[in-house]
Structure 1
Amino acid sequence: MAEIIVMPKLGFNMSEGKLVNWYKKEGESVRKGENLFSVETDKTNMDIEATGDGVVRSLLIKEGDSIAVTLPIAIVGDSTEDISAVLAEALALLGKDSKVCDCEATGQTESTADALMTAVKSDGGRAKISPRARRKAGELGISSDDLCRFVTGTGFDGGICEKDVLAYAASLPADTRQKIGAAAAATPVARNMAAAENLDLDGIAGTGANGKVTKQDIQAAMAGAAAGGAARTCQQAEMNAGVKLSQDGKEILEEVPYAGVRKIIGDRLAQSKFTAPHLYFTQKVDLTNLLELRREVNAVQEQKTSVTDFIAKAAVKALQKYPEMNASLLGDTIVKYKTVNVGIAVAAPGGLIVPVVKNAEAKTVTEIAAVSSALFEKARAGKLTPDEYTGGTFTISNLGMFGIENFTAIINPPEMGILAVSSTKDEPAVIVKADGTKEIAIRPMMNIQLTTDHRVIDGLLAAQFVTEIKDLLERPVALMV
C-alpha cells in the first residue's frame, strides 16, 4: 500500500525542515534502510532512511524547498498500484498549509502530481493566492484585485504562485505597468540600487528570470550613465570574461548566500550575545601533572584519552560542586540540573557543532573519552542525530590544537556558561617549593576562560567555579576518583 512520506520532526524546537537532497528519483526503487532524502536541521544535514521497500511514485517538493514538519513530501508504493487517492490526500494536506501552496513546492515536471493538480476542485471559485505570490505582488505594486483579474494561476488547485506574478509583470509594457500601478520586475537588491541611483527600472532591460531586472543589469546601467558607451563596452567585456565587480569597483571572488546552517548558527549566537550579558573570567593552568598522568593512563589502555577528556571531567566535578552553573534560564524560571550533560564543540562539514556527552557525572575520564571519540567521528561525517547534539547543560570549546593562545566564547543558550580552552605552551612560571622558597621553572601552561550569563551567575560564583576547574586540572589525581 502506498505510503505518504512526511517531513520528519527531528528536534523539539524544529517547526520546518529544508529538503537538501533526494537520493532517489521518481520511478526508482528504494529498500528499507536505504537513504531516501536528507534534511537540514538547525545544526547539520541528516540523512533519512526509507521505512519500507517500494518505488518512489511522486516527489512533492524539490531540493532546496522548506516545508513544515509532518507535511507530505513524497509517496512511496508499489510500482503498479493506483495512488490517485493517496496523492489527492497528500496534495490536499499541502494545500491547507500556507507555506507550501506555491507551485515551486508542489509542482513536479512531468510527474503524477501535475496530472492530478487540476483535478482537485477549488473552494467557491475564489482565486487562491499563495503568501509568496502575495508578497511578490506587493513588492511589484500589483494589488490582490489585479492578481485576480489579470493573472492565471498555474499552482496547486489553480492557485496563483510567485512564478505567475513574475511572468505577468514581465509581460507588460511600461505604460501598462504604470496604468495599473505596477512596477518593473526586479530583485530586491536591484530595486534598492536603482532607488539609490535614481534610475528608472522601466528603462532597464532585465536579463534575469522572466525578464527580471538584476543587480548586474543595474550595474551595467550605472556604468553607462557614468562613462558612456566606452564604459558600457568595458563593463560588458568584464561580464563576458566572468569578472564580477562590486558597486565601488572591487573585483569579487565569490558570493555565498548567508543561509542554511551558517545563518542558523549566526542567528543563535547573535541572540545569545545580545540577550545574555556575558561576563568573562580567565585562569592560567599548569598542566605538568595532568600531562604526566595522561601519559601513564594511555600507556596501560587501548582507548586513548585527550587533554579535553580530562578538562571535561574537571568541568563535570566543578558543576556538581556548583550546581548554579549547571542550569538554564527558561523564561522566568532558573532550572538547576542534577544531570550533567557536557557539550564539546567540534568542527563539522556544515560548521561548528556541539556533540553532547550525556550523564557525564556517572562516567570516568576514560568513559568520557570513549563516548566523545565516537560522537566526534559521527559529527565529522555529518551523521549526528538531534539527540546527540541537544540537551547540553555546559559547553567546552577547545582551540588548543590550532595554537590559539586565548579566545572568548559565546554562550550556547539556554546554558549558563561555556569554557574556552587555549593551547598549551611552555612558559616561565614561579614555583613554590615545599620549604616555601620560590624558583622560576619552564612549565606547560594553558589559558582557560569562562564565559557566564551575568543575569543568573554572579562574579564571585563564576570566579570560584573557574578556579575549581584550575585546581582539579593541576591535581588531576582527583579526576580519577
Structure 2
Amino acid sequence: MAEVILMPKLGFNMNEGKLVKWYKQEGETIEKGEKIFSVETDKTNIDIEATGDGIVRKLFIEEGETLPVTLPIAIVSTAEENINEILSGAMAQLGREMPEASSALEKEDSRRIKITPRARRAAAENNLGIEGLNITGTGFDGGICEKDILEYLASNKVKVTPTARAMAKSKGVNLDEIQGSGINGRIMKADVEASINLENEPREAVVRSASEGKFTSDGKEILEELPYEGVRKIIGDRLSQSKFTAPHLYFTQKVNLEKLLETRKEVNTVQEHKTSVTDFITKAVVKALVKFPELNSSLIDGKSIVRYKTVNIGIAVASPTGLIVPNIKSSENMSVLALSKASAPLFKKAREGKLAVSEYTGGTFTVSNLGMFGIENFTAIINPPEVGILAVSATKDEALVVTHADGSKTVEIKPMMNIQLTVDHRLIDGLLAAQFVTDIKNSLENPISLLV
C-alpha cells in the first residue's frame, strides 16, 4: 500500500523543516530501515528511515527546500500501484496544480521531460537549459538522473573558470553564448563581465576587483560570504526571541574550589571512571533544582507555569553545527559518578553531530561551562521554554581574604571560579534566584555534601 512521507515534527519548537539530503531518488527501491532523507532541526541534522519496503514514486521537494511540518514530501509504493488519488491529495495539500492529463500521474506526457530533483539541480548549477537537452534518461521509466546530467557535462563540457561560472549563474548569463578568451577557449571572469551591461545595473554593496578578490563598496576586502540560514539562523531566532521576550535577570557568585579540587582528586584515585569538575557542578545544580523546584519549570505558551519533579539537566556542548544541549534525563537521584557516566556518551555524540532528537530535547535547566576555554566571566541566554541557565567560567588563582576561627584575617591565594545565574524575571524573583545560586556556591565549597 502506498505511503505518503511527511515532513516530520522533531521538536517542541519545530514548525518547519529543511530537507538537507535525499538518500533515494524517484524510481529507486528502498527497504524498511534504510535512510530515505535527512532533515535539519533547530540543533542538528536527523536521518529519517523508511518504515516499509517499496519504490520511491514521487519526491515533492528538492534538497535545500523548507516546508511546514506534516506536509507531504514523498510517496513510496509498489511499482504497479496506481497512486493517482494519493498524488492528487498530496498536491492539493501542497497547494500545487496537477498535470492536465491524468495519464501523467503514472506516465509522464511525452512532451514533458522526466527528471529527478537532484538531476534538475545539477543542470541548474551548470547553467543547462532542461528543455534544450538531448539526453536519454536511464532512471525509472526513462527519467533523467543526476548521473545522466554529469555524463552529459563530461562529454560536452564548456571550459570555464569556477569564478566565471559562479558569476554567470548569479547574473543569469548563458555560458553557451560566450566566446572564451582564455587558453583553448576557456571562459574567464572578464568574458562574463563583458557580456553584462554593468552600466545599467545599480551599484551593489559588494563589488569585485580585477584581481578576482571581493570588496565592499567602501573598500573592505571580503574573505567569504555565507548565507544566514539553517541551524545558525534557527539558533539565532530562538535566542533572539528568548532575549527580547523573557526579561533576563543576572546573579553572580565567586566560588572557592579549593576543597572541591582536593575531593575530586581523592575520589578519582579510588575509582576507574574519572569525574570532572563539571560533574560536581552538575550535581550541585541538580541538588539545588530539587530544593528550589521553581527554577525547574517552564512557561508554556505564555499561559501556564509547569514545575517538574523530574530534573532533565542540560549541559551545553560545542558541535559541528553550533552549540547544542544534550540533557541527562531523570538526573535528580543520580550520584556524581552516575552523572559523569551518563554525560560522557552524550558529549561524544554531540561533538560528532550524532545526537538523537530525544537526547537534546525535554531539558528543564541548562549549565553552560566555558571554563575549559579560559573564559573568566560571561552571560548566558536562557534556552526556552526553561526559566534559567547557569554560566560557569574558568578557575583562576586569586587573592582571597580568609577569616579564621579566632577572628583574624589573612590574604591567601585560592582557586576561584565565577558562576552566573540567568533567570526569567517573569517567573523568578530576585530573592529566590539569590538563594538558588548561593545554594550552588555552598555545595561546591563543601563538596562532601555532593557525595552523600
TM category, shorter: 0.7 to 0.9
Which ranges in structure 2 are unaligned for 5 or more consecutive residues? 113-167, 175-192
Measured at CA, do residues 455 and 12 of structure 1 come closer, stay the same or move farther in structure 2, by a change above 3 Å? closer
Q: Deviations over 1:276-307 (max 9, x none)?
A: 11111111111111112222222222322221
**Any idea what the Cα deviations from partners look like across 1:183-212, whole Å, max 9, x if unmatched?**
xxxxxxxxxxxxxxxxxxxxxx9963489x
For residues 138-168 of structure 1, the C-alpha deviation after alignment (integer angstroms, 9 at most, x for no partner) is xxxxxxxxxxxxxxxxxxxxxxxxxxxxxxx
Aligned equivalent of 2:393 = 422
**SS at the partner of 1:251?**
coil
Map 1:243-258 onto structure 2 (within 5 A): 243-258=213-228
Q: Check if 1:86 corresponds to 2:72.
A: no
Question: Match for 1:343: what amino acid?
Answer: G
Instruction: Point out the more displaced range, 346-355 or 55-64.
Output: 55-64
What is the rounded CA distance, in whole Å, between the counterparts of 2:320 and 2:109 in structure 1? 40
1:68/1:329 CA distance change after superposition, 3 Å: closer
Residues 239-284 of structure 1 show CA distances to partners (whole Å, capped at 9, x for unaligned) of: xx43222232322221111111111111111111111111111111
CA RMSD of aligned residues (A): 3.2
- The one-letter code sitting in structure 1 at the alignment partner of 2:20 is V
Residues 220/401 of structure 1: CA separation in 2 closer, same or farther (3 Å cut): farther
Equivalent in 230, 236, 245 of residue 266 of structure 1: 236
Q: Tell me which of 230, 249, 265 is aligned to 1:279.
A: 249
Which consecutive segments of 4 or more residues in structure 1 shift more than 6 A? 111-114, 116-119, 216-219, 222-226
Partner of 2:25: 25
| CA distance in structure 1 between the aligned counterparts of 2:89 and 2:173, rounded to whole angstroms | 29
Query: Are the counterparts in 2 of residues 327 and 336 from structure 1 also a CA contact under 8 Å?
Result: yes
Q: Name the CA distance, whole Å, in 1 between partners of 2:52 and 2:271.
A: 42
Q: What is the DSSP-based 3-state SS (H/G/I as helix, E as strand, rest coil) of the residue aligned with 1:477? A: helix
Q: Does 1:97 align with 2:68?
A: no
For 2:39 and 2:438, locate their aligned partners in 1 and report how far apart those are by CA, in whole Å: 42
Name the one with the larger helix percent: 1
TM-fit CA distance, 1:219: 11
Give distance in 2, aligned partners of 1:314 and 1:476: 9
1:196-215 equivalence runs, <5 A: 208-209=171-172
1:52-88 CA distances to partner (integer Å, 9 max, x unpaired)? 344434333210112232333223344xx224x3265
What is the CA–CA distance in structure 2 between the aligned matches of 1:206 and 1:372, rounded to whole Å? 47
Q: Does 1:115 align with 2:108?
A: yes
Post-superposition offset of 1:434: 3.7
For residue 308 of structure 1, what is the aligned residue in structure 2? 278
Report the equivalent of 1:52: 52
Shift of 1:367: 1.3
Distance 1:9 1:117, change over 3 A: farther
Residues 1:293 and 1:94: Cα distance change in structure 2 (over 3 Å): farther
Per-residue deviation at 1:479?
0.8
The letter for the 2-side match of 1:253 is: L
**Counterpart contact for 2:17–2:40, Cα < 8 Å:** yes
> Secondary structure of the equivalent of 1:411?
coil
* Match 1:467 to one of 432, 438, 442: 438
Percent identity between matched residues is 62
Partners of 2:407 and 2:390 in 1: how far apart?
32
Q: What stretches of structure 1 of length at least 5 have no aligned partner?
A: 120-204, 227-234
- Say whether the 8 Å CA contact 1:219–1:247 is kept in structure 2: no
Q: Secondary structure of 2:294's match?
A: coil
Q: How does 1:34-433 map to 2 (within 5 A)?
A: 34-78=34-78, 81-83=79-81, 85-86=82-83, 88-98=85-95, 101=96, 115=108, 208-209=171-172, 220-221=198-199, 238=210, 241-330=211-300, 331-433=302-404
Pairs aligned (count) = 371
Question: What is the alpha-carbon distance in structure 2 between the residues aligned to residue 117 and residue 17 of structure 1?
Answer: 34
Contact 2:57–2:77 (8 Å) recurs in 1: yes
Give 2:4's aligned amino acid: I
Cα deviation for residue 2 of structure 1 reads: 4.3
Shift of 1:24: 2.6
Q: CA deviation at 1:26?
A: 3.3
Structure 1 range deviating more: 335-344 or 465-474: 335-344
